[in-house]
Amino acid sequence: MTVTPLLDSVASPADLRRMPREQLPALAEELRGFILNGVAQTGGHLASNLGAVELTIALHYVFNTPDDRLVWDVGHQSYPHKILTGRRAAMTGLRKTGGIAGFPKRDESPYDTFGTGHSSTSISAALGMAVAAKRAGLTRRAVAIIGDGAMTAGMAFEALNNAGDIDANLLVILNDNDMSISPNVGALNNYLAKLMSGRFYAAARRAGEKVLSKVPPMLELARRTEEHVKGMVTPGTLFEEFGFNYIGPIDGHDLGVLIDTLKNIQRLDGPQFLHIVTRKGKGYEPAEDNPCLYHGVGSFDPATGIVEKPVIKPTYTQVFSDWLCDMATLEPRLIGITPAMREGSGLVRFSEAFPDRYFDVGIAEQHALTFAAGLACDGYKPVVAIYSTFLQRAYDQLIHDIALQNLPVVLAIDRAGLVGADGPTHAGSFDLSYLRCIPNLTVMAPSDENECRQMLYTAMTLDSPSAVRYPRGSGCGAAIEKNMAALPIGKGIVRRTGKRVALLAFGSLVTPALAAAEALDSTLADMRFVKPLDEALIQQLAQTHEVLVTLEENAVMGGVGSAVLETLQRLGLSNRVIQLGLPDRFIDHGDHVGMLKDCGLDAAGIVASVRTVLPE
C-alpha cells in the first residue's frame, strides 16, 4: 500500500482536527485510494467504505472522539474510521488471523465505542450512551450513523420512538446511499440544511413556540405550516413526528457542507436527525456501477476491477439456488423470501425467473418469518433463505408464529458454523443448540452438496416446519443428482464400519470425520438429522462400540452432542462420549480451515482427541 504525505500525518483524530480545512478534500482522496488499494489485496467491504470517506473525516474533525461517541451501524463502512484512528498500518492484516476485524470491535480500539456486525442497532446503542451522559451531567455527544438499508428494520424505529420521548442529546445520521444524488440535493438544500441546523433557527423556533403556546390554535397552525414548508423541500416529516429536528438531505461528499452542518448541530440540544446522501463505491467506477459486487469482495485488480475468481466447486448457496428454481417449477405454491440477502443467500436467479413469487422484505428477519407463517396458513409453501446468525434475531417468531402453529415453513439456513474472515458476528455457531429444543421442527444437516439438495426437497414434502442448515462455501465436491427424492425422516447412514470407536458426525464435519475414521479404523455415521435423532442407530452404535464421538460445527454446549447424551441416558446406556464442537467462546476471524484446526475439528484434531481417551 502506498502511503501519501497527508494521510501519513494523521495518526489519530487529534491530528486530523489540527489540519487546515482546505486540506481535507485532498486527504479524502488519499484515504479513498488507500482503502481501494488495501481491499484489493485483502478483500473485504469496499463500496460502502468508499462512500463514507467524507462523512468519516467530517465526524472526527467536528466531534471530540473518542469522548464523543460514534456508533457505526453494521460496520460495513468502518474502514475509513479505523484508518483515521491509528490502525492504518494494521489494515494489511484486515480480517486475517491475528489481524484487525472487519467490523468495529470494542477491545480493538477506544474509538470503537460499540461492537457491531448486525444491522439496525446503532440508534439504540447511541441513545443508551446519550442517556448515560445526561445522567452523569456530561456534555459529550452520541452519534449513530445508520444506512438506508438498516432503517428498514423495526428495531431502528423502536429506538427512534424512544429517543424522541427521552429528549437526550442524540444525533442520528441517515447515510442514504441507495440512490444517486437527486436534483433537490444541491446548493439550495445545502443552504436550507445549514439554516435549519443553526442556533438562530432553533432559538426562533423555541421563542415562537413559547409565545404561541398562549394561543393553542395558533401554535398548531404554526407547527403545521412549518411541516408543510419543510415538507416541500425535505422528506423529514416522519422523523419530525418521532420528536427529532430533521435536517437535510445534504450532499454527503461535500466536506464543507458536512462540517458546517455538523458544527451547527453540535450546539443544539435534544434529538437531531441529519439526512445525507452518498454514493456507494464513490470514486471507483466499477464499484459505483456495481455496488452489490463490490459490497463484500475478494482480492481484485484495482486497475481493471476484475475480481479474482478461482475455479471452484459449486457452493452450498449455489446448490440451494439451483434447487429453489427447480422446485419452483414443480411446485407452484412455493414462495421465496429473504430479509435483504438476495445475493448472499442465492436468490438472484429465482427473483428473475419468478418475480411474482419472490419477496425481499428488507432487513426485517422477524417480519420475514411471520410473513412466511401467514402464507403457510393459506396453503402456500414458503422458503425463507436466511443466514444462521440472522435467524437468531427472529427466534420468538420461529417459536410462536411458526412452530407453535406447526406451519410448513422451510428455513434454508446458510452460513452455518464458522464463516472465516467475517468473524464471530456472522458465525452460525448456535443454531443447532437453539433449534433442537423447539417442538414440531425437523432439523437437517447435509454432509455434502447432493445431500443438501435432497434434504431441501425433503423439507418441502413435510406438512410441518423444517430447517436445513448448511455451511458457507463449497463442500467435498459430491456429484449432484438432479432427480429429487425425500429422505427417510430421522434416519442416518453408516459411511464406514470399524472397531471400538464410533464417530457420529453431523453436517460439515462428516468429511474430516471420514479421514479420521480411516486413521483410527473406526465406524463413521453420517447422522443427517439433528431432530429427530436416529435413536435406533445411536443405540446400535453404543452397543457395539466402546467410545462414541459426536462431531458438530456448532457450540458444544446444548448442541447435538448433548442430544446424543440425553438419548443414551434415556436408553440406559453408559458409553464413554467425547463431544467435539465449537468451544465456549467467540472465535475470532481468520481462515476457515485454520479456525477448524484450532478448534480440533480437522481430521488430525479428531484423531488426537480420540487417542487421549483410547490410546493405540
Q: Active-site positions?
A: 280, 365, 393
CA distance 145 to 74: 9
Amino acid found at 181 = I
Going through 214-333 in order, the beta strands assigned E by DSSP cover 245-251, 272-277, 296-297
Q: Which residue bears the cell 480493538?
A: 108
CA distance 100 to 108: 7
Contact by Cβ (8 Å): 428, 422: no
CA distance 418 to 426: 8
CA distance 10 to 5: 9
In the chain, DSSP finds a helix count (H) and a strand count (E) of: 26, 19
Contact by Cβ (8 Å): 140, 66: no
Report in angstroms the alpha-carbon separations of 527 from 20, 506, 605: 65, 6, 20
Contact by Cβ (8 Å): 592, 418: yes
CA distance 492 to 379: 31
Instruction: Write out the three cell numbers for 134.
Output: 445526561
Q: Which residue bears the cell 467490523?
A: 103
Q: Please, which residues bridge with residue 468 across strands? A: 412, 444
Contact by Cβ (8 Å): 135, 112: no
Q: Please, which residues bridge with residue 547 across strands? A: 501, 576
> Which of 427, 482, 361, 476 minimizes the C-alpha distance to 592?
427
State the helix-helix crossing angle for 535-544 and 560-571, rounded to 10 degrees: 70
Q: Please, which residues bridge with residue 247 across strands? A: 274
Contact by Cβ (8 Å): 263, 62: yes
Contact by Cβ (8 Å): 370, 407: no
Q: Which residue bears the cell 486497475?
A: 303
Instruction: Write out the three cell numbers for 363.
Output: 432487513
SS3 73: coil
Q: How many residues does the chain have?
A: 616
CA distance 462 to 381: 10
SS3 134: helix
